[in-house]
Amino acid sequence: MLIFSVNPAEASGILLEYSAGVRELSMGDIGAAFRAEPGAIGANPASVAGIPALAASFIYDNLYLDTSIYYAGAAFPFKNLTVGMTYLWYDGGDFKINYPEDLSLHRRTIKAMSEHLISAVLAGQLTEKLAGGISARYLYSGFLEDYKFDTFTADLGLVFNSGVWSFGVERIHTRPWSEGLGLGISLKNIFGETGYFSEKDSLEKILRAGMVYRIRFNREAALTTGVDFLYSGADGLRPSLGLEYNHANILMLRTGYIFTEGANRMSFGIGLGHSGLRADYGFLPSSAMNHRHLLMFSFSL
């Protein structure tokens, strides 16, 4: 169980650092520069700007052992804006308590740690190529049965997309062309406090910046590359790289690499889509404990 491998005060607020989106996590946890991508809300609230219709997704993330994260989110256009709502639940596993001093008492099972995060997102186009977004978030965290806290915080983000670059190519469907460059930046956890005990700590602010570039080889085949830089006071700078091959929005193959000292460095994923429905699977191999598996189902109308 995660909670007993670290200080509980440091473990609290784990959902505030979670990016969500199996596509993003399969590509090395990039996502700061995606546009019209609901799964990247956790990385950058501006990512949902430009969604043409209602989109919803559901995620199961088996972190390791008996700890898991469950996600449900939806976003929809409203006039010139995009409105989104997300819910995250972190299940830190169970903890069994024995009573050796009194055998008449039965062994109890309690929840080691549990967190719930609700987010409301508002995003829109600031200019033709620049989008902005804000996310207001509420976190409730519980440790064993005796320690609880809650807090409010907010994220801000910007995404710039250059648009299609044709390179002067007239026959756009017979030669490769670029769909442009995307740039993004976000600041997470602008305010708020964390901690189960009387002394509270300010939430760890996270600055995230990224870039994505997408090129089409023909009408069906496209390649997306991306890089993210995540900075926090506790962990310093953490770069990551991602790559996705997309064939007609039917088959998507992904991989990524996170430059960190942790066990999880490589990531892999596959996506299958048809008529607005999509299923995504992500795999993060680990040399510690066990491997991490992610599964997402999403749809758009």
DSSP notation for the chain: -GGGTS-HHHHTTGGGG----HHHHHTTS--TT-SS-GGGTTT-GGGGTT--S-EEEEEEEEEETTEEEEEEEEEEEETTEEEEEEEEEEE--EEEE--TT-TTSPPEEEESEEEEEEEEEEEEESSSSEEEEEEEEEEEEEETTTEEEEEEEEEEEEEEE---B-TT-S-TTTS-EEEEEEEEEEEE--S-EE-SSSS-EEPPPEEEEEEEEEEESSSSEEEEEEEEEEEETTTEEEEEEEEEEEETTTEEEEEEEE-SSSS--EEEEEEEEETTEEEEEEEE--SSS--EEEEEEEEE-
Bridge partners of 109, per DSSP, are: 96
At residue 233, the pLDDT reads: 82
Bridge partners of 247, per DSSP, are: 221, 251
Amino acid at 168: G
Helix (H, G, I), strand (E, B) or coil at 10: helix
At residue 50, the pLDDT reads: 86
The CATH number of residue 13's host domain is 2.40.160.60
Tell me how many domains the chain contains: 1
d(CA 43, CA 185): 9
Q: Whole-prediction pTM value?
A: 0.84
d(CA 51, CA 240): 26
At residue 281, the pLDDT reads: 96
| End-to-end C-alpha distance for the chain, whole angstroms | 39
Which residues span the domain enclosing 76?
2-100+107-300
At residue 21, the pLDDT reads: 85
Among 141, 247, 144, which residue's Cα sits nearest to residue 203? 141
d(CA 19, CA 32): 9
d(CA 38, CA 30): 13
The rounded average pLDDT for each run of 10 residues, N- to C-terminus, in the chain (301 residues) is: 43 76 91 87 90 92 83 92 94 69 60 87 93 95 80 95 59 58 94 76 90 89 94 87 95 93 80 93 75 89 81
